A = this chain, B = another copy of it.
Amino acid sequence: MTGRIRNRDLARKVVDAEEAASLIRNGDNVGMSGFTGAGYPKEVPGALAKRVAKAGVEGTPMKLGLWTGASTAPELDGVLAEVDGIDLRMPYQSDPVTRDKINRGSLDYTDIHLSHVAQRVWQGFFGKLDVAVVEVSGITEEGLLIPSTSVGNNKTWLDQADRVILEVNSWQSTSLEGMHDIYYGTALPPGRRPIPIIGPGDRIGSAYLHCPPEKVVAVVETDSPDRNTHFTPPNSDSRRIAGHLLDFLELEVRAGRLPKNLLPLQSGVGNIANAVLAGLQDGPFDELTAYTEVIQESMLELIDSGRMRSASATAVSLSPAAMDRFNARMAEYRDRIVLRPQEISNHPEVIRRLGCLAMNGIIEADIYGNINSTHLMGSRIQNGIGGSGDFARNSYLSMFMTPSLAKNGAISTIVPMVSHVDHTEHDVDVVVTEQGLADLRGLAPRRRAELIIERCAHPDYRPALRDYFERAQRSSFGAQTPHLLSEALSWHENYVRTGSMRG
């Protein structure tokens, strides 16, 4: 019994990862922890993958339903996809091996809004959850579970699973205790009550995850870091995108349409998002707040510098260096950061009430403001919609960001018609590229097209977009959203055929 497992009964259940993995059966639905490479189980998935591989060799192939919070890491998604151990993956992934299996058609992937997962699992239409495999940072004397660097769907997995396997990761800081807020008031309708969050930092639940000890079939001790990747400083395109966005927010404040300290920020992850947050460091805004999915590098810096008052998320995803700082200064952060279940961090009710400012990266936008966040050339999945729909649909302002070119200019991210729609024209307020920003609010589709082409498209593709739009206006079946059906997807066809949208 180490200092991390302070409960006597659960300490008796410590086994190694192989033994724990042996408790998972062919056909099981398995709910694992993990969100954006944080707080996922580090050893059981690998041991499970070995079992699956062995079973395959022995002619008794093993398949599992794999459910998580969001993306995990090669040690989880990667190893299980590699051995073809997954038959249905949900609700999000960003793993190269998994992605490849999906796009070859050998793995089913259901890409759903992150806020919907818990409710849909309770509803029961994904089938029974058999096993939960959840990383925690410790277990109290009373058997309460101290969550790790992500909460994700862990509350739901622990509630719904028949059998629970815990990984207690002593790499995680002990000072995480007290940072989480696990709300136990959600329910299926009828009789649901309001979620009582009024401000981003409100605490409405317990600092611990609850789990009946008799459901715990194994406890595994680990000591491994999260998939914390090195921080890449924003490149020039990202800085330009951030500049346009911050100018826009300043104008909105000046016009009286936003308060001086803005509204709770939601930010996707990645280079552009980091550039926006870095830009806020030097900008005119103070007393910022965030109501978002993931606390990332630049958001931590905003808290460090005092620019940001409080941040709510469901996961912390940092570089190794920032994670060291985070762990060292945890006591200070505990008052300013709240980690919640993803059904709450992404809850439509709360997002609408708080009036979030949603900022998310995309794959492509079309001239009428429809957004593709998930598919390359209409059919190849990249990652998934994640929480972008939860925020876009219910936010106060819904902003989407992308460089205007991809693949060294072979791809224009502004196209006549997107090849897949994840956010409809009705849900998109602002599109930004390094070229400029298009404020689409209140505009009819034809007016949006003028703005998006002139402000957002790259000059190399602008003449072709203008030409399409002009010809479409002349000969379209209707003038609300002019299109030439035989050409609308031809840019994507060109790319598939020739390797460039230029055809």
Contacts and interface: CB of A to CB of B under 8 A. Distances in A.
A485 B492 contact: yes
A113 interface: yes
Interface residues of A, number: 89
Most buried by B among A190, A196, A381: A190
Contacts of A28: none
A110 to B, nearest CB: 5
A124 B480 contact: no
Interface string A317-353: 0000000000000000000000000000001110011
A446 B103 CA distance: 11
A16 to B, nearest CB: 34
A99 to B, nearest CB: 9
Contacts of A178: none
Nearest to A353: B192
Given A188-B355, A349-B352, A379-B476, A126 B420 contact: no
A424 B426 contact: no
A492 B481 CA distance: 15
Contact of A426 (B191, B377, B385): B385
A194 interface: yes
A419 B486 CA distance: 12
A88 B444 CA distance: 8
5 contacts: A124-B256, A190-B199, A376-B477, A376-B478, A379-B472
Interface of A: 88, 90, 102-105, 108-113, 119-120, 123-126, 188-196, 198-199, 255-257, 259, 263-264, 347-349, 352-355, 370, 375-381, 385, 389, 393-394, 396, 417, 419-427, 441-444, 446-447, 472-473, 476-483, 485-486, 488-490, 492-493, 496
Given A103-B480, A105-B446, A111-B426, 6 more contacts: A125-B257, A192-B354, A194-B195, A194-B353, A348-B394, A393-B394
